[in-house]
Amino acid sequence: MNIEPNVVILITIATLLAVGCDEEASTQLGPLERASSSEPTLTSTVAPVPKPTEQIDSKPEADEALYEPTLQSNDGITIHRLITAPEVEGREPLAASAVFGHNEEKIYAFLDVSNESSEEKILTVFFVGPSGKVSGGVELSVPPSVPRWRTWAYTRFVDEVGLWRIEVRSPTGVLLGALPFEVAEGC
């Protein structure tokens, strides 16, 4: 059975809207449809981003673009998709979301990447909290010369309400991808 990705996205969004935390949180899911596009979203520059160990000032905004991923190619690695989800099954994220409950068991950072270089690349995934708390530091290996590699990292240590950020970095610390997500109380 071959299901088109857009159909899966629409079904996922409909499911999230039906079982979402509240009306306000479920309306913020619209940008994820764009975030899961099969076309790479590349930026020529990345805004200055603190290192994962530095304090950041993250305040939620009403702007839907807030939940858009920032992706960049570097040294043969291209991130095509960066998605947050409470679960990964069959090498795909299930119920992609930008808002999670403060008692979620796991929050996944799903990556769909390509490696055009002839050597293995290591990506490190960090989960950075509103007060600068860093969780993760998960290293993901991407084999050489692969046009598509799906991989993920997760954390169980999201225990602070507010705006969090996933950061995907190269071994030299270059920010390759970033995606904000919100942890809400009462979900």
Angle at 114 between CA 117 and CA 32, to 5 degrees: 155
User: Regarding predicted confidence, which is higher, 63 or 163?
Assistant: 163
**Which of residues 142 and 63 earns the better pLDDT score?**
142
Confidence check: pLDDT of 180 > 60 = yes
The Cα–Cα gap between 164 and 16 comes to 20
Angle at 178 between CA 30 and CA 24, to 5 degrees: 30
pLDDT of residue 67: 60
Q: Is the pLDDT of residue 166 over 80?
A: yes
Domain that holds residue 45: 5-184
pLDDT higher than threshold 60 for residue 184: yes
What's the chain's average pLDDT?
A: 73
DSSP string, 29-60: GHHHHHHT-SS----S-------TTS------
pLDDT confidence band for 151 (50 / 70 / 90): very high
Residue 142 has pLDDT above 90, yes or no: yes
- Give the position of tokens 């007060």: 131
pLDDT at 6: 55
| Percent of the chain whose predicted confidence (pLDDT) is above 70 | 62
Q: What is the CATH number of the domain that holds 155?
A: 2.60.40.3880
Number of domains in the chain: 1
* Tokens found for residue 68: 């858009």
**139 near 168, Cβ under 8 Å?**
no
pLDDT at residue 50, rounded to an integer: 42
Report, as an integer, the average pLDDT of 36-52. 38
What does the pLDDT average to over 157-173?
90
| Global pTM value | 0.63
Least confident piece of the model among 17-21, 104-108, 141-145 = 17-21
The larger pLDDT score, comparing residue 45 to residue 130, is at 130
Out of 68-77, 86-95, 115-124, least confident range? 68-77
Fill in the DSSP letter of residue 105: S
**pLDDT at residue 23 above 70?**
no
> Looking at residue 71, what is its pLDDT?
78
